[in-house]
Amino acid sequence: MAKQLRNLRENLLLALDTLRTHKFRSFLTILGVLVGTATVILVASIITGLNNQLVQTMEQYGARSIFIYKFEPGIHFRLTREERMRKPLQYEDAMAIRQFCPDVQDVAVEIFHEGPPVGAKYKGQDMLDANLQGATSEDFAITNGQFADGRPYTSVEDTHRRNVAVIGADVAERFFQGEDPIGKEITVGGNTFQIIGTLAKRLAFLGDNGSDRTVYIPYWTFRKIYPEAKENFIVAMAYPNRMNEAMDEITAVLRRMRKVKPDQENNFGMATAASVIRQFNQITGTVALVMVVISSIGLMVGGIGVMNIMLVSVTERTREIGIRKAIGARRHDIIWQFLLEAMTLTGTGGMLGIALGYLLKFGVPLVFSSLTPAVPLWSVAVGFVVSVSIGLFFGLWPALKASRLDPIVALHHE
């Protein structure tokens, strides 16, 4: 065992000496490995940062919240014709959920109209990207809306269609810097509302959170102003540890309310924070796989370069190989000498790639200011192991070629 460790140490020192002797050639050889490994580290850090940010963003809306819409809430690249043609959810659907779902603690209804933002005005100032949304009074508690100032509107104000509003953090920041917004009047979509509360800023995914730019008014006030609006969004909150039961009950109620036959698929969708996170992880997993495949091209090119350089090294050191064999070196000694040299070469490239990828992650916030990338330990381990494996695989042929040299012929090589 001690002898094997001594041989391993000698071979490693010999490999490092070769790297020092041919610095520029070694750098060019490992460039592909370096770039490939750095790409893996950078992509992994971005995806980890995105996943962490999405988890934080979704969890702030409540782990027990169930989001219900006419199609599956979440990320969509394309809707089917059947999904686009579905009729909207009704206010009565939410009331039925409240009445017939014992595992649902509370229900809220949000309503909006499709189209561009309506914009807001205050004392000659305009906020063109402000949204207007109607919501029942329970909405703030169910979605964990934190108030920076003031209060939410009540069910009485909703029933009596009062022109009161709760504004998002960006609206308050745009219009009321250094000024108390409570009691002030704001104009949204040509209608005036008295501000009774302001919401604290929510965590944003990729720098944009529409709720911070939203003016919330009572549900029935919205219906009074926009009687043609039909797009209802239902948010239910399950009792603790009753999420699955609540979703089953909601499914049964909505199928009955929307007259879905037993042999038909649901004509509505449900999602939770956990399901949206799972969906996003599937998407980022696919993106990561594609990027790994692309970066593997760089690793493959680096591996071919390593093999070529090692073949050249075998030719250059033929006489050295002959001397080693003449004084008792066996075939496996020669194989391990060249394999270790190739693995040291690519392993060095891998470590430089890991360092480069780690440094590049600090430049990501310059492009995406809200994103904080994080290098996962598994990506570092994978990057190093793969880079060393490249040297092992592509160094095998040169090592075998070196081990098969005839010592007599090798000693006469010039």
- pLDDT tens per residue, range 362-387: 888 887 777 788 888 888 888 888 88
pLDDT given at position 13: 64
Q: 282 in helix, strand or coil?
A: helix
Concatenate the DSSP letters of all residues of 64-79 into one string: TEEEEESS--S--S--
C-alpha span between 142 and 118 (Å, rounded): 26
Which tokens belong to 375?
């290098």
Closest CA to 167 of 144, 143, 183, 154: 183
- pLDDT tens per residue, range 68-126: 998 887 666 677 888 788 899 999 999 999 999 999 999 999 998 777 888 899 988 99
- Where exactly are the structural domains of the chain? 2-57+279-411, 65-272
Mean model confidence pLDDT for the chain: 84
Closest CA to 159 of 219, 106, 118: 219
Using CA atoms in the order 264, 281, 370, 373, what is the torsion angle rounded to 10 degrees? Answer: 180
- pLDDT tens per residue, range 385-398: 888 888 888 888 88
- pLDDT tens per residue, range 326-373: 777 777 777 877 788 888 888 888 888 999 998 988 888 887 777 788
C-alpha span between 351 and 381 (Å, rounded): 10
pLDDT given at position 335: 80
CB 390 within 8 A of CB 302: yes
- pLDDT tens per residue, range 178-224: 889 999 999 998 899 999 999 998 877 766 677 888 999 999 999 99
CB 71 within 8 A of CB 267: no
Q: 192 in helix, strand or coil?
A: strand
Backbone angles phi, psi at 272, to 5 degrees: -125, 170
Which tokens belong to 361?
């992650």
The structure's pTM equals 0.75
